[in-house]
Structure 1
């Protein structure tokens, strides 16, 4: 792998990020950099907390980690700074506010205690066993029904062949 200058990496980073949101494939074709290299760079940037969406989707289609990164980066900004930040990234301040509220609401739900979680897991396992038992019973009954239907058809065919009446 040949070493790339920081200027090239910065250009790639700019192209991947909002508002451009070019895919790794497009950038690889344009710049002649192997696509795997671009994926590695993007992964490293995301681990560093930078907003590098994994898709070309509009911001509403971004993953939760990208949205949360935007919320963190914009947390201490006033309205003017937030507007500038959003313009640079192709976002709207209303989106960032919605994402911030969603992040706050996510922590508002009570978490389960360890005992509750273990009880929930036990009930889940019991439910899975019951489902498996019911599926086995259903298969057994389906087979029995198919066998009964086959016997009924065979008896009707025998009656039709021998011309027996059921009125004896």
Structure 2
């Protein structure tokens, strides 16, 4: 389930003789503990945004040596983690509108809709 081997739950079940439900329960428990356990055998670039963000959080305070060790354990590259970190930071680049600004935009949109309707009828 976890990198670097990334075997499916079915493969692990068959190989070790552990029931599939037990493995899914373990995986769920690991996720609740904050462990990065991707839900599939996907390459790390195909991981969910949640898994990538968890990696970013887990590596936030690591120095280069610690980051390299972390990545080796999980089948990642430090460059991937840095890209994910940058994407996480960029996600909040666009300023959030205030309530007043949102209402003004809604008012302008309603005006535009009325104007479009009027032009279509005329």
Task: State whether TM-score is above 0.5.
Answer: yes
2:37 and 2:26 mapped to 1: Cα distance? Answer: 10
User: Which of 7, 22, 27 is equivalent to 1:42?
Assistant: 27
Any residues of structure 2 matched to 1:16-31 within 5 Å, and which?
Answer: 16-31=1-16
1:112 and 1:40 mapped to 2: Cα distance? Answer: 41
Shift in Å, 1:48: 1.3
Q: What runs of 5+ residues in structure 1 fail to find an aligned partner?
A: 1-15, 128-168
* 1:90 aligned partner: 75
TM-score by length of 2: 0.77
TM-score by length of 1: 0.57
In the alignment, structure 1 residue 63 sits paired with structure 2 residue 48:
yes
Count of residues paired in the alignment: 106
Shift in Å, 1:109: 2.0
Shift in Å, 1:111: 2.6
Larger-Rg structure: 1
Q: Deviations over 1:11-53 (max 9, x none)?
A: xxxxx21111111111111122221221121112112110101
Provide the alpha-carbon RMSD of the alignment. 1.9
